[in-house]
Amino acid sequence: MDAFSRFRGITSRLLVGRSPRSVAGQVFLLQVALVVLLVACAVVAQVIQSRMAGGEEAKRRSIAVAQTFAHSPGILSALRAPDPSKVLQPLTEAGRRSAGVDFIVVMDTHGIRYTHPQPDRIGKRFVGRIEPSLAGRVYTESVHGPLGHEVQATVPVRGSDGKVVALVSAGLKVETVTSQVERQMPLILGAGAVGLLVVTAGAALVSRRLRRQTHNLDAGAMTRMYQHHDAVLHSMREGLLIVSPDGRLLLANDEAARLLDLPPDAEGRLVTELPGLPPGIRKLLTSGRRATGEVHRAEERLLAITQRPTARGGGCAGGTVVVLRDSTELRALSGRAEMARERLKLLYDAGVGIGDSLDVTRTAEELAHIAVPRFADFVTVDLVDEVLQGEEPTGTGTGMRRTAVKSIREDHPFCEVGSLIDFAPSAPHARGMGTGRSELVPDLATATGLRLQAAEQMETIEACGIHSMISVPIQARGIMLGVAAFWRCRKPEPFDEEELYLAEELVARAALSIDNARRFTREHTLAVALQRSLLPRALPEQSALDVAFRYLPAQSGVSGDWFDVIPLPGGRVALVVGDVVGHGLHAAATMGRLRTAVHNFSTLDLPPDELLSRLDELVSRIDQDESDADRDSGVIGATCLYAVYNPVERRCSMARAGHLAPALVGPDGDVTFADVPAGLPLGLGGMPYQAVDFELAEGTQLVFYTDGLIEDRSRDLDVGMEMLREALARHRDRSPDEHCEAVVEELLHGRPKDDVAVLIARTLATPADRVADWDVPCDPAAVAGMRAAVARKLDEWDLSELSFGTELVLSELVTNAIRHGSPPIHVRLLRDRTLICEVSDGTSTSPHLQYATTTEEGGRGLFLVSQVADHWGTRYTPQGKVIWAEQALPAHDTPPGLRAAPPLQRQPGRSVREANVRSAW
- pLDDT value for 398: 55
- Name the phi and psi angles at 623, rounded to 5: -65, -40
* pLDDT tier at 555, thresholds 50, 70, 90: low
- pLDDT value for 900: 46
User: For residue range 101-116, what is the model confidence (pLDDT) as tens digits?
Assistant: 888 888 988 888 888 8
Identify the sign of the CA torsion 329, 332, 336, 338.
positive
Helical residues (DSSP H) of 626-705, grouped into ranges: 628-631
Secondary structure (DSSP) of 771-818: EEEEEE-S-TTHHHHHHHHHHHHHHHTT-GGGHHHHHHHHHHHHHHHH
Q: What percent of the chain has pLDDT over 90?
A: 8
- pLDDT value for 337: 65
User: For residue range 427-470, what is the model confidence (pLDDT) as tens digits?
Assistant: 888 888 888 888 888 888 877 777 777 777 788 888 888 888 89
Residue 867 has pLDDT above 80, yes or no: no
- pLDDT value for 315: 44
Tell me which amino acid residue 205 is: L
* pLDDT tier at 329, thresholds 50, 70, 90: low
Give the predicted TM-score (pTM) of the model. Answer: 0.52
695 or 873, higher pLDDT: 695
* pLDDT tier at 894, thresholds 50, 70, 90: low
157 touches 168 (CB < 8 A): yes
239 touches 327 (CB < 8 A): no
Q: Which of 121, 120, 59, 116 is nearest to 90 (CA)?
A: 116
User: For residue range 335-347, what is the model confidence (pLDDT) as tens digits?
Assistant: 566 677 777 888 8
- pLDDT value for 12: 45
467 touches 493 (CB < 8 A): no
Going by the DSSP 8-state scheme, the letter that residue 859 receives in this structure is -
Residue 249 has pLDDT above 90, yes or no: no
* pLDDT tier at 704, thresholds 50, 70, 90: very high
311 or 357, higher pLDDT: 357
Residue 504 has pLDDT above 60, yes or no: yes
> What is the spatial distance between Cα 511 and Cα 474, in angstroms, rounded to a whole number?
5
Residue 353 has pLDDT above 90, yes or no: no
- pLDDT value for 3: 40
Residue 280 has pLDDT above 60, yes or no: yes
481 touches 475 (CB < 8 A): yes
Over the chain, what is the mean pLDDT? 79
User: For residue range 618-669, what is the model confidence (pLDDT) as tens digits?
Assistant: 888 877 766 454 555 444 688 999 999 999 889 999 999 989 999 999 988 8
324 pairs with which residues across the strands? 239, 305
406 or 358, higher pLDDT: 406
Give me the helix-helix angle, 803-820 and 910-920, nearest 10°: 50
Residues whose CB is less than 8 angstroms from the CB of residue 210 and which lie 6 or more positions away in sequence, other chains included: 23, 24, 27
707 touches 665 (CB < 8 A): no
250 or 538, higher pLDDT: 250
User: For residue range 116-150, what is the model confidence (pLDDT) as tens digits?
Assistant: 888 888 888 888 888 888 888 888 888 887 777 78
Over range 598-612, report the average pLDDT: 89
Would you call 791 exposed, middle or buried from its count of C-beta atoms within 10 A (0-12, 13-18, 19+)?
Answer: middle
- pLDDT value for 157: 87
- pLDDT value for 133: 84
- pLDDT value for 591: 81
639 touches 657 (CB < 8 A): yes
- pLDDT value for 700: 92
* pLDDT tier at 314, thresholds 50, 70, 90: very low
Torsion of CA 360, 361, 366, 368, to 10 degrees: 120
- pLDDT value for 415: 85
381 touches 403 (CB < 8 A): yes
Over range 521-547, report the average pLDDT: 76
Residue 165 has pLDDT above 50, yes or no: yes
772 or 806, higher pLDDT: 772
Computed on alpha carbons and rounded to an integer, the radius of gyration of the chain in Å comes to 57
Name the pairing type of β-strands 103-107 and 164-173.
antiparallel
> What is the spatial distance between Cα 241 and Cα 239, in angstroms, rounded to a whole number?
7
- pLDDT value for 13: 47
Residue 902 has pLDDT above 80, yes or no: no
> What is the spatial distance between Cα 891 and Cα 239, in angstroms, rounded to a whole number?
107
Q: Which of 323-337, 489-503, 807-821 has the lowest mean pLDDT?
A: 323-337
Strands (E), 146-229: 148-158, 164-173
**Chain centroid, CA 204 distance in Å:** 52
- pLDDT value for 317: 54
Residue 573 has pLDDT above 90, yes or no: yes
- pLDDT value for 216: 66
User: For residue range 214-237, what is the model confidence (pLDDT) as tens digits?
Assistant: 666 666 676 777 777 777 777 777
